[in-house]
Structure 1
């Protein structure tokens, strides 16, 4: 009798975390974090931002509904929830080994993303970045649970030259005060944060060489969402990105600093120049 009771409890827990069905209509539980300009939060929910508007538009084209509102989580908790099947989908995330194990990634990303190093304006003649060797003996600010790349993380751990914080804002405040030498950050997100903090004239990106380029995705938990659904989402997203509606959303957030036109004067694909 006990084993049947345990089985019943397990089934109820599984159903608790499955997509909600109302009158036969499937509703997705979706989470994200506050990461402008991609996701903008208001109180406990993610209500706006580039990725938010794109996701909502694609789901609308698929005649899919979101259960309630897009839930707001700190990034580490967001990753925990999507990896453990507590929510159906999460955005905007890049790919890494653990996420690939637990989640489906659409073939079509939401957008390409460029990660660069930031320094103080006063250090522009002292600090540079063209290879990882330039970072030796310097302190780099990183954010807990961010994926970055295996090669970049391996370098930091070998050199033991990094400090971890909970969010990007904390890193930029530390950089301004001189407590660290570099901050690695996503380019568009960083520019938004610096403007908010009033630090745009004090801190600057090193556009001679990106640390890496990646893609940002909506990812779906494999235990809750079928691969067929993810493929349909990917096809719908790809078609949506060819529309004028998508162009309007993109221009609304990136007209001042278009991501596809960021110029890196030095691109290299050999040795430790490219951090993959």
Structure 2
């Protein structure tokens, strides 16, 4: 919809060369880590290099990119695909997968919304990637003319701590 100009903008999107062809991006709003999640009864899975994860059955979410390096790594692995992060979290608890890569903010938000997940998942201390999330505006939208104003307001919201307060409302 953004590509065709049917929608004006979307919040917290990752900037990629492909998307830059049809979207304008703000400066980063927040940075989130990609972490390796496991069931608490297994313990947190730690790694130094992606190759350290070869021994595990990995769950991934359909349509997601985990960054170029991790996506390349997944090409050499046996993976199990789910339709959502929530489904992968349930698969962890059912021992159908050993680990799954997940955006820290998204997974923490799901844990907060689903009591059955609380205290049942752990994550690696090391991130496999950090994503800078931004507002994206369709190049075909009139809203793109407002980008300087949007940037100024975002800078004020970050400086005043409003952005971090909003993020905290979604974390456990």
TM-score when scaled to structure 2? 0.85
Matched with 1:83 is: 3
Question: Out of 107, 110, 131, which is 1:193 matched to?
Answer: 110
Distance 1:212 1:95 in 2: 14
Q: Is the 8 A contact 1:95 1:147 kept in 2?
A: no
Residues 1:118 and 2:37 aligned together: yes
Structure whose CA Rg is larger: 1
**Structure-to-structure mapping, 1:244-259, within 5 angstroms:** 246=162, 250-251=164-165, 253-254=167-168
Unpaired runs of 5+ in structure 2?
Answer: none
Residues 1:154 and 2:72 aligned together: yes
Aligned residues: 171
Deviations 1:66-100 (A, max 9, x none): xxxxxxxxxxxxxxx22332201011211223212
Q: Structure 1 residue 256: deviation in Å?
A: 9.6
TM-score when scaled to structure 1? 0.56
Distance 1:226 1:121, change over 3 A: closer
Distance 1:232 1:190, change over 3 A: same
Higher relative contact order (CA 8 A, sep 6+): 2
Q: Is the 8 A contact 2:31 2:131 kept in 1?
A: yes
Distance 1:256 1:192, change over 3 A: closer
Q: Is the 8 A contact 2:8 2:143 kept in 1?
A: no
Q: Structure 1 residue 115: deviation in Å?
A: 1.4
Unpaired runs of 5+ in structure 1?
Answer: 1-80, 259-276
Deviations 1:100-146 (A, max 9, x none): 2221111x222121111111122227x43221011113222222232
Residues 1:214 and 2:131 aligned together: yes
Distance 1:91 1:252, change over 3 A: closer
Q: Is the 8 A contact 1:137 1:161 kept in 2?
A: no
